[in-house]
Amino acid sequence: MSALEGKLVLVTGASRGIGHGISLELARQGATVAGTATSAEAAARLEAELQALCGRGLGLVVNVNDAAACTGLVESLQAKAGRIYGLVNNAGVTRDNLLLRMKDAEWDEIMQTNLRPVFVLARAVLRDMVKAREGRIVNITSVSGQMGNAGQSNYAAAKAGVEGFTRSLAREVGSRGVTVNCVAPGFIDTDMTRALPEAVREGLLSHVPLGRLGKVQEVAACVAFLLGTGAAYVTGSTLDVNGGLHMR
Ligand code: NAP
């Protein structure tokens, strides 16, 4: 029996890209996945895909910018499906600009989408986890938050913030059997990197020892590891999935 058999895991931003890959991998490993999308159509599509794959799973609608909606989502999921074992904070966006040109709105949107929901959702799931003396939180950060990236001061600040948040929370709740970790992807083949100009993509790849973009499945496998029994003694850590782009 897989370690994730019968466990309920909430994954944000599960409609596309890395979050979609994570949802399918966790479902394959036996978890009941509740994945979020920002539209009802995408949520229904995800739910149908999960059901076809394993006969379990939910597609839910949330905009993580809306703190009350995030809290409501957790409460309604708990009422419908029981205790949440795992939370994967994956939803994220970029609003790149050089700092001198960066608008307040571009800064604020990144903080509201990439940083604040990590706190809001962790707080919402934590009470049940602490009571059960069992739980896993995995936050998706980025190599940009570790190395910095010109044009991404907002995004890098938010992702570095999530890593600091992760380490602090890991210290708070370790004694209660809850682990909190990050997975930090490098450049992964998703809509986010497809939006980059070809020359920028090529330039980035020249710094990647493995010489290619990562696949969503390669990030998903690391998230599944951190949710599984093999990672029971791993907390406050960041697992880098970057093809060697950044070595610490
Ligand atoms: P993506 O393909 O652009 O997908 C983003 C996901 O986040 C979608 O499911 C999207 O939902 C959801 N989302 C966006 N804004 C949201 C909001 N306000 N509320 C709720 N959901 C929202 O991105 P990705 O490349 O898979 O990235 C996933 C995570 O990995 C992000 O945290 C990103 O920062 C991180 N990351 C990615 C890379 C990379 O190279 N791709 C590298 C490092 C880190 P909709 O479909 O409804 O828009």
* Residue to mutate (ligand 1; options 10, 11, 12, 16; most atoms within 8 A of CB): 16
Question: Tell me, what's the pLDDT at 196?
Answer: 85
pLDDT tens per residue across span 40-82: 999 999 999 999 999 999 999 999 999 999 999 999 999 999 9
Strand-pair category, 32-37 with 8-11: parallel
DSSP secondary structure, 73-98, as one string:
HHHHHHHHH----EEEE---------
| 113 and 93 Cβ atoms separated by less than 8 Å | yes
Cβ of 13 closer than 6 Å to ligand 1, yes or no, is: yes
CA of 54 to the centre of ligand 1 (A): 24
| Residues with pLDDT less than 50, the chain | none
Helix boundaries (H) for 63-215:
67-81, 104-110, 116-132, 143-147, 153-173, 191-194, 198-205
Query: In degrees rounded to 5, what are phi and psi of residue 215?
Result: -105, 150
Angle 90-122-66 (CA atoms, 0-180°, nearest 5)?
70
Question: Tell me, what's the pLDDT at 197?
Answer: 87
Cβ of 154 closer than 6 Å to ligand 1, yes or no, is: no
Question: Tell me, what's the pLDDT at 204?
Answer: 87
Mean pLDDT, the chain, whole residue set: 97
Nearest CA to ligand 1 atom 3: 192
The pTM for the full model equals: 0.98
**Sign of the Cα pseudo-torsion (173, 73, 216, 151, in order):** negative
Instruction: Tell which residue, 95, 236, 246, has the closest CA to residue 167.
Output: 236
**Percentage of the chain lying above the pLDDT 90 cut:** 94
Question: Tell me, what's the pLDDT at 201?
Answer: 86
In DSSP terms, which residues pair with 214 in a beta bridge?
A: 188
Cβ of 42 closer than 6 Å to ligand 1, yes or no, is: yes
